Amino acid sequence: MTTFKELNNACQWEDDYAPLGQLILIRDRAPSDGSLFIHHLLNSYLAKQYKKGVGLVSLNHTFLHYQTIELKLNSNLLKEGENNNFHFVDAVQGLTQSFLGEEEVMQDNTLLYASPVNVTDVKKPQCISVWKPDSDLCESLFQHIRKHADKDCLIIDHLNPLLYAGDGGVYKLMRKLHELTKKENVTVVVAIHDCAADYRSEETRTANFIEHLSDITFRVSGLPSGYSKDVHGQVEVVYKKDKNTFDPPKHVKLHFKTMDHSAKLFAIGNV
């Protein structure tokens, strides 16, 4: 994907860089948003055309959101789904269902995958499955992923709603996902919103825990100088070259600007 060429260049990655068997963490802090890196990785793995394809678990947005953006980035999730190269797990409704304790909450609602402007005559795409939680949220989500989204790359956007599941469910889930990366050579991408105000918060502790396990980390944050119209934030890419050596992790810091159809990453001070 040419949009993120600067990022790949800075990190000395190939243009079609999409490694397998990695745990990749995207941790963002308000007011910035790391969703552009989710789309970058989603696009990269779809373009790479691995055998099993990509699975996207969304606890944040509906399918329509991702489809709209991916269309702008020259990728069609519906077509990829038809080719069995993509699967979408809608976990947003599961959160509502879990909180209400209802049996079924809006499971077949067309608004989950169609625009409110065009809700009529839309059939549910085959590549979407809706997660139905039970008493153990994280475990049931993991089981659902294994059943429906057994792919080469698994993207989870984002982990924060599961932090309130209790009993350290998120930690267990992350351990299991980490095992997947090593045993089955699956790449797992996890996004989490970090809390800048308090380093003892659950968000920060979980983000630190995952960063410790991860191979590549994208730390996305706003500019220290405050809001800017031309630079929307900064990203620090931390990647561990080889865990068997004592080489320190490599850091690359870039500024970025997101636009409707693309994103621009550039060296600091080089707008």
Partner 1 sequence: MKTSTFIRKGARQQTVPPGAKPSVHNGQLLISSGLRDFDSIVGGGLPVGSLICIQEDRHSQYAQNFIKYFLSEGLSCGHSLAYSLSPLNSINSFLPLNHTERLKAGQASVEDEEDDAESQQNELKIAWRYKEFVDQQVAAKKLRKTTTPITHQQKGTVSCHEYDLSREIQPEIFEKHKSNMTKLQPSNYKALLKDIYDRVKSLRSDASNRTATSILRVGLQSIGSILFNDNSQLIPFLYALRGLMRSSMSTCVFTLSKECISIDKLESLRHACDIVVDMNSFVGADIDVSDWEFKEYSGLLDMVKLPRINSLTTNFTPDSLNYAFKLKRRKMYIERLNLPPEETREASNPDRPKYQESQAAKAEESERIMRDLYGASEDQVMSCSGGVGMVHHHSKTSKIQDTLDF
Tell me how far, at minimum, the Cβ of 240 lies from partner 1, in Å: 27
DSSP characters over 37-68: HHHHHHHHHHHHT-SS-EEEEESSS-HHHHHH
Our finding on whether 271 is near partner 1 (CB under 8 A) is no
On the question of a cis peptide bond just before residue 193, with omega within 30 degrees of 0, the verdict is: no
The DSSP bridge pattern shows strands 216-221 and 233-239 to be antiparallel
> Quick one: 182 or 261, whose CB is closer to partner 1?
261
Detail the DSSP E strand segments found in the chain: 23-29, 54-58, 86-90, 128-130, 153-157, 187-194, 216-221, 233-239, 250-258, 263-267
CB of 77 to partner 1, least distance (A): 13
Applying the rule CB under 8 A, the residues between 138 and 167 that interact with partner 1 are 160-161, 164
Applying CB under 8 A, among 51, 117, 135, 225 the residue interacting with partner 1 is: 117
- Which amino acid belongs to residue 169? G
Shortest Å distance, C-beta 90 to partner 1: 9
Q: By CB under 8 A, which span of 6-14, 139-147, 174-182, 225-233 interacts with partner 1?
A: 225-233
Chain centroid to CA 234: how far?
Answer: 18
Of 25, 114, 237, 263, the residue at the interface with partner 1 (CB under 8 A) is: 263
- Nearest CA-CA partner of 160 in 91, 233, 97, 107: 91
Q: What tokens were used for 194?
A: 């970090």
- By CB under 8 A, the residues from 56 to 115 that bind partner 1 are 59, 61-62, 64-65, 68-69, 72-73, 92-96, 98-102, 105-106, 109, 111-112, 115
CA distance 170 to 251: 27
Q: Which is nearer to partner 1, 63 or 86 (CB)?
A: 63
C-beta of 89: minimal distance to partner 1 in Å? 14
Q: DSSP secondary-structure letter at 185?
A: -
Token pair 């792919």 is found at 151
Site mask for partner 1 (CB under 8 A), range 4-43, x = bound: --------------------------xx-x-xx--x----
Amino acid (1-letter code) at residue 192? I
Give the list of residues 6+ apart from residue 139 with CB closer than 8 angstroms, or none.
169, 172, 173
Given the complex with partner 1, which of 56 and 195 has the nearer CB atom? 195
- What is the binding site for partner 1 (CB under 8 A)? 30-31, 33, 35-36, 39, 59, 61-62, 64-65, 68-69, 72-73, 92-96, 98-102, 105-106, 109, 111-112, 115-120, 160-161, 164, 193, 195-198, 200-203, 227, 229, 232, 258-263
